[in-house]
Amino acid sequence: MMKSSSSSVSANILSFDGLKHLRQLQYSKLNKKVAALQYEKAKNDLYLNITAYFLETLCAKENIGNCKNIVESLQKQEEQISIKVGHGKVTIADLLQIQARLADAENTLLSAKHNYDLSRMNLRQFLELKDYKTFVPNVTVVDSIEYCNFSQTDILNGIIYT
């Protein structure tokens, strides 16, 4: 009877891994930079959206002022023309024409007020504020073009800290 036994020992020693660990480290560093850039992009997008909603609200507020000026001007014209109609210098058709323009301007003013309320509501919803009826953005500058030159922090302070 013959007994046989065999055994073997093998060992693998990696002599060169092709800089695998170095590449993994570089990849991890790049992923960290990508995450930081994505965070900055999200932050900038948030500032941009808030600014866009705020400028929409600001323009709507300016539009109300413009519409009020037009209505006041047409009311003065109506008064002047009604006096001239009383003296017989102008026809009633001219008075009716001014009254129609005045009614149209008053309708435009009403629409402007509605648009202002909607823009405030959109801004409030975006900022997740509870009560939009009492929410009025703090605006010390009434010109939206000038307001565009402010920094993000100035705009956020004007919106949030009212």
In 3D, which of 83, 136, 77 has the Cα closest to residue 101?
A: 77
Range name among 67-81, 100-114, 129-143 with the lowest pLDDT average: 129-143
Is the sign of the CA dihedral 133, 135, 139, 140 positive or negative?
Answer: positive
Domains in the chain: ranges and CATH: 40-160 (1.20.58)
pLDDT tens digits along 75-122: 999 999 999 999 999 999 999 999 999 999 999 999 999 999 999 889
Residue 23 binned pLDDT confidence (cut-offs 50, 70, 90): confident
Q: What are phi and psi of 19, to 5 degrees?
A: 60, 35
Instruction: Report the Cα–Cα distance between both ends of the chain, in Å, rounded.
Output: 101
Higher pLDDT, 6 or 83: 83
Rounded Cα–Cα distance for residues 109 and 62 (Å):
11
Percentage with pLDDT > 90 across the chain? 49
Tally the C-alpha atoms within 13 A of residue 101's C-alpha that lie toward its C-beta: 15
Q: Which two tokens stand for residue 43?
A: 């932050």
